[in-house]
Amino acid sequence: MDLTDNVVIVTGSSSGIGEAVARRLAAAGARIVVNSASSVEAGERLAGELGDACYVQGDISDPATAQALVAAAQDRWGRLDGLVNNAAVTAEVPLADIDGVTADHWNRVLGVNVVGTFLVSQAALPLLRAAEDGWILNVTSIAGIRQTGSSLPYAVSKAAVDHLTTILAKHAGGGVRVNAVAPGLVATPWTKTWDQQKAGVAATAPLKRVATPDDIADACMGLIGTRYATGQTLLVDGGLGLVV
- Contacts within 8 Å (CB) and 24+ apart, 195-203: 201/238, 201/240
**Residue 154 annotated in active site:** yes
203: phi then psi, degrees, rounded to nearest 5? -80, -25
Among the options 55, 118, 135, 154, which is catalytic?
A: 154
Contact of 35 with 111, CB cutoff 8 Å? no
Catalytic residues: 154
